[in-house]
Amino acid sequence: MAHFEKANSLEEWLDQRLAIKTLRRVLAEEYWIPKNINFLWAMGMVLAVTFGILLVSGIFLLMYYQPNVKLAFDSVNYTIMKEVEFGWLWRHMHAVAASVVFLIIYIHMFTGIYYGSYKKGREMIWISGMLLFVTFSAEAFSGYMLPWGQMSYWAGMVITNLFSLGSLELNGLVEWIRGDYVPGQAFLDRFFMLHVLLLPLVIMALIGLHFGTLRIPHVNNQDGEEIDFDAEAKKYLAGNKKEAKVIRFANDFMSKDMFVVSIFLIFYFYLVFWHFDFAMDPINFDPADGLKTPPHIYPEWYFLWSYEILRPFPKDPGLIAFGFAQVIFFALPFLDKSPNVAPASRRGAFKYWFWILLVDMIVLTVMGKLPPQGIYSTIGLVAAVVFIGLWVALPFITKNEKAV
Amino acid sequence: MKELKILGVVVFFTLLTYWGVEPYAHSVMHPHVESDGFKYDDLPALTKKGDAQRGAQTFLSAGCTGCHGVKAAGMPAPMDPNAAAASFGVNPPDLSNAGSVYDEKFLAALIKNPEHALMVEHKFSKMGRAYPMPAFYGVGGDKDQEVADIVAYLKSIAKKDVTPKEAYELACGRCHAMHYDNWTQIGEKPKFKHKKDELLFEAKVLEYQDYLTKYLGKLPPDLSMYIRSRGEHYLKTFMENPQNLLHGTAMPRVGVTAEAAEKVIEHMADVGDAKRHERTSVGVKVMIYLFIFAILAYLWKQSLWRELH
Ligand code: HEM
């Protein structure tokens, strides 16, 4: 057995057994971050905090929620909203966080795209991030089923229908996914399981993976500059903090993270208390009714852009375009052929590519909500074609990019 | 500062997206209907000044009490809700507080021609059905004067300060249940000692609902969560004139005053958004906490970063 001295403090006692000082040094104090980054690099921390909020509020909701088609709606809208002390608070926090987390995810993704943080060693950061995006999407969708309101039911119907894969008419597959001909008890049960167990586990594992992928390439910086982290860390440790191009994760960058988080929380809690309707669709406060289709069925805002890529085309091409939109972001590191890691503003044609993509996705998002009629479906069609065109064009416009 | 510029860009695109999917998209999907402030301009104003005492007499001779109770004046309903619904399709309201919940122009118009005031001609005379409440043909004198007297009488006996719940019960509650408030169309569901009594009550509710369904073509929805699913503005404009928002609906115009409409909405909020006052007060405290947190976080960051730049 190893030899243990008597410890003089709790810290020392723990250190003898768990090496917490080494852990702290490796994971925090000597985890080096470039100095030249702005608040957009705090979005990862904001996401981690928001996920924490979702987890904690979700645990509280789970204590009263009833996954039963007869009871689910009332367990949420009566028991949790009216009976349980502060149940309303946990519910609003959960629902608003679920919506806001996507806003931050999109900001985080577009930050990565803008600064080219997905290539030259950072491919796995990007891919693990995309896996998080996909899993978060599934998590949000499965959670949306749980209150068993009109939108839960009908969005569940529409989305699971996609799995019939158009003209292939795989209705058996759709029934297998639903566990029934239409959404019902079996459907609610399995989405409940996915939402509260399987997907959160996957998300936590993926967050671990995502953090791991950051370790070797380190995070990028505002100029895409390649930094010699060992040399710069030596400068810092020698007391040359002003000249060193790196800072400690803790407490240096974490103090900034915390400030950004505090601003984010002000925004988030403002929404929770005074402006929650955007995240809690009014239609979902009508109980599910399989005999009454709502006049407008639309997904939550963060799915609208891909929904709009599905909608303006005929059935089969629409599905193919939709499938394309779901996976194409994974391929970004490989479609961008330029060796430059630099902000988009310095990258020639890519600069336009970036801003067009952003605006195009906003246009798709808005058209996805509007009824598919007249001018809106034309705009939607054009925006969907532009989206696909942008990705097809990407390798060509980046191939001959001048080195910066 | 560069970071503020970046923040500006992020905020701009966020707000643009928000505007597109919320205010703009909703304005396209749900054309906006403005409230007229419950003025009921399509109905004629009362030309005669009513006399409450005479009105009490006229009220009795007109035969209103054959169907309506007036508990405030010691006149119970002539039939229980189910018997009434069996004959009329719906239980006629007790008129004790009609004078303060319903607009006087509306009451007068209703007495003279119920279908017209209620805006349900498309479901009755135009379909060859008689509306269960007959129009008032007068008791021998000047009909306008008699109607004004009845209205004055109803106003004189009505409680001035009906509670939100009473307003709801009178204006909506005979057709719309609200199970989050224990309210059924035949009244509040009591607490029962014996299962048998409870089942008997429930059977009565079901029977009443069957009559109502036959009468209206469809059972009116439970309104427990309508404050969240429809929102205040929709509910208000819908109450004022259901045909505006749901053309052809069997729901009659209920003819409440602006003040009574506020009360109905308040009751619906008490039931469907019960914690709204707590929400605001907790919200303010959380905000104060977060502002202090933000200031401390900023100071902490500054103290560390002074050495870094
Ligand atoms: C909830 C999910 C996520 C969490 C908790 C998370 C967390 C983080 C954290 C803490 C960082 C380091 C600090 C920073 O640059 O912000 C980071 C970096 C990064 N993440 Fe995520 N992330 C998530 C989702 C995503 C998604 C969806 C993508 C894109 C597909 C993504 C792509 C990246 C990239 C490219 C970086 C590196 C940034 C750089 O090197 O400058 N992440 N993430």
Are B181 and B224 within 8 A, CB to CB? yes
Q: Are residues A138 and A249 in the same domain?
A: yes
Average pLDDT over residues A209-230: 97
Report how far residue A6's alpha carbon sits from residue B244's, in angstroms, rounded to the nearest whole number.
Answer: 82
What is the sign, positive or negative, of the torsion defined by CA atoms of B169, B174, B176, B177? positive
Is it the case that residue B309 has pLDDT exceeding 90? no
Average pLDDT over residues A152-165: 95
Q: Are residues A309 and A229 in the same domain?
A: no
Is it the case that residue A1 has pLDDT exceeding 80? no
The pLDDT of residue A238 is 96
Tell me which residue has tokens 């809700």.
Answer: B81
Q: Is A334 helix (H, G, I), strand (E, B) or coil?
A: helix
Q: Are residues B96 and B24 in the same domain?
A: no
Structural domain boundaries enclosing A375: 304-404
B88 within some domain: yes
Q: Are residues B62 and B96 in the same domain?
A: yes
Structural domain boundaries enclosing B47: 31-274
For B7, phi and psi rounded to 5 degrees?
Answer: -60, -40
The pLDDT of residue A325 is 95
Residue among A269, A265, A246, A267 nearest A257 (CA): A265
The distance between the two most distant Cα atoms of chain A, rounded to a whole number of Å, is 80
pLDDT band at B217 (very low <50, low <70, confident <90, very high): very high
For A289, phi and psi rounded to 5 degrees?
Answer: -140, 105
Q: Are residues B217 and B250 in the same domain?
A: yes
As given in the structure block, the two tokens for residue A137 are: 């999407």
Q: Are residues B187 and B44 in the same domain?
A: yes
A2 within some domain: no
B308 within some domain: no
The pLDDT of residue A356 is 98
Q: Are residues B19 and B165 in the same domain?
A: no
Are A357 and B9 within 8 A, CB to CB? no
Q: Are residues A204 and A174 in the same domain?
A: yes
The pLDDT of residue A82 is 97
**R_g of chain B, CA atoms, integer Å:** 26
As given in the structure block, the two tokens for residue A204 are: 């936590």
Q: State the virtual CA torsion across B162, B167, B173, B177 in degrees, nearest 10.
A: -100
The pLDDT of residue B31 is 80
Q: Are residues B70 and B110 in the same domain?
A: yes
Residue ending a domain, among A247, A276, A297, is A297
Ligand 1 surroundings by CB, under 6 angstroms = A 41, 43-45, 47-48, 51, 105, 108-109, 112, 115, 117-118, 122, 125-126, 129-130, 132-133, 136, 207, 210, 214, 219-220
Q: Are residues B65 and B211 in the same domain?
A: yes
| pTM of this prediction exceeds 0.90 | yes
Q: Are residues B135 and B189 in the same domain?
A: yes
Element (H, E) at B188: strand B187-188
| Number of domains chain B contains | 2
Residue ending a domain, among A273, A297, A321, is A297
Average pLDDT over residues B282-298: 98
Q: Are residues B16 and B53 in the same domain?
A: no
A21 within some domain: no
For residue range A70-87, list pLDDT tens digits in order: 999 999 999 999 999 999
| Number of domains chain A contains | 2
Average pLDDT over residues A355-381: 96
Amino acid (1-letter code) at residue B252: P
The pLDDT of residue A202 is 98
Name the residue among A259, A266, A362 with its Cβ closest to that of B301.
Answer: A259
Q: Map B235-295 to HEC letters.
A: HHHHHHCHHHHCCCCCCCCCCECHHHHHHHHHHHHHHHCCCHHHHHHHHHHHHHHHHHHHH
Is it the case that residue A255 has pLDDT exceeding 90? yes
Residue ending a domain, among A241, A263, A297, is A297
Q: Are residues B209 and B174 in the same domain?
A: yes
Average pLDDT over residues A125-154: 98
Average pLDDT of chain B, as a whole number: 95
Q: If you measure from the C-alpha of residue A156 to the centroid of ligand 1, how many angstroms do you get, rounded to a whole number?
A: 29
Looking at ligand 1, which atom is closest to the CA of residue A109? 29
A370 touches chain B (CB under 8 A): yes
With the most atoms of ligand 1 within 8 angstroms of its CB, the residue from A105, A108, A124, A258 to mutate is: A108
Average pLDDT of chain A, as a whole number: 96
For residue range B148-180, list pLDDT tens digits in order: 999 999 999 999 999 999 999 999 999 999 999
CB-based contacts of A40, cutoff 8 Å, min separation 6: A107, A108, A111, B6, B10
E-assigned strands of A229-324? 246-248
Report how far residue B254's alpha carbon sits from residue B240's, in angstroms, rounded to the nearest whole number.
Answer: 7
Q: Are residues B7 and B54 in the same domain?
A: no
A392 within some domain: yes
As given in the structure block, the two tokens for residue A258 are: 């915390």
- Classify A157 in phi/psi space as left (phi over 0), alpha (psi -120 to 50) or beta: alpha
Q: Are residues B94 and B143 in the same domain?
A: yes
Q: Is the peptide bond before A284 cis (omega within 30 degrees of 0)?
A: no
Cβ distance A255 to B301 less than 8 Å, yes or no, reads yes
- What is the CATH number for A58? 1.20.810.10
